Amino acid sequence: MAKSFPSDADLWEKIVNDDYRAFTALFERHWYILYKTANKYIKDPDTCEELVHDLFLNIWNRRKYLNIADFKSYLKTSTRYLVYSSLKKSENLSVVYLESYPEETKLTQENSGQENMIYHDLENEMEACLKQLPKRSCEIFLLSRKHHLTNNEIAERLGISKRSVENQITQALKHLRLHFKDIAIFILCNAFFRR
C-alpha cells in the first residue's frame, strides 16, 4: 500500500501550531526548487542558499500572522521578490573598476537583462491575477493605477458613480492582497504601474 504524504496545507496547519517537524518537512519539500529558481538569476550558490534559508526563517517567525492559502504560489512569489531585492542591493553596493567604455555598456546590459527577466516574471503573475477579476473591475483598476486617472475621471468616462469606482478599486486591491499575501505585491504594483 502506498504511503500518503501530508499536503502543504496540512503541514502549514501544524506549523501554525508550532510543529517544527512539519516545518522541516515543508522546508525539505520546497527548498531545492526555490534554490534553483534563485540560482537562475543569482549565480552565487551561497547567496541563493542564504536567500532560501532567510525566506523559511521569516515564515517560521511569522507563522502566527501569515495566512497562506496556496503555499507554492506564496513561496514562488516571495522567492522572486527576494531575488529582485538581492539583485537591487548588490547593484547598489558593488563597485566595479572599468577599463573601457564598451565593457561598462556590456555590464549595464547584463544587469538590466536580469532585472527585466525578474520584472517580466512578476508582471506576468500580476496580469494573471488581474485577469481573475471581473472585466469591469479590472478595467477600473487599470485606469486608476496604470493610466493614473482620478476616480472622478474614471466615473465620468464609464458613466458610473464615483462611489462605484472606489468600491471596484477596493475589491481589486483585496483580491490582489489575497492572491499574493505578501508585501511584494505593493512593490510590484509601484514598479508595474509606473513603467
The C-alpha atoms of residue 73 and residue 114 are separated, in whole angstroms, by: 21
Is the CB of residue 189 less than 8 Å from the CB of residue 180? Answer: no
- Give the SS3 label for residue 1: coil
Segment 81-90 mean pLDDT: 78
Provide the CATH number for the domain formed by 114-195 in this structure: 1.10.10
Q: Quick one: pLDDT band at residue 119, thresholds 50, 70, 90?
A: low
Worst-scoring range by mean pLDDT, 37-51, 96-110, 157-171? 96-110
Confidence of residue 99 (pLDDT cuts 50, 70, 90): very low
C-alpha distances in Å from residue 131, one per residue of 32, 96, 152: 30, 42, 24
Identity of the highest mean pLDDT range in 72-76, 90-94, 104-108, 172-176: 72-76
- CA separation for the pair 127, 193 (Å, rounded): 11
* Residues 6 or more apart in contact with residue 60 via CB below 8 angstroms: 15, 23
- Torsion 70-71-76-80 (CA) sign: positive
Any idea which architecture 7-91 has in CATH?
Answer: Orthogonal Bundle (1.10)
CATH 1.10.10 boundaries in the chain: 114-195
Which one has a higher pLDDT value, 124 or 16?
16
Give the C-alpha separation, 148 to 125, whole Å. 21
Question: Boundaries of CATH 1.10.1740.10 in the chain?
Answer: 7-91
What band does 131 get if pLDDT is binned at 50, 70 and 90? confident
Task: Give the C-alpha separation, 153 to 41, whole Å.
Answer: 41
145: cell is 493605477
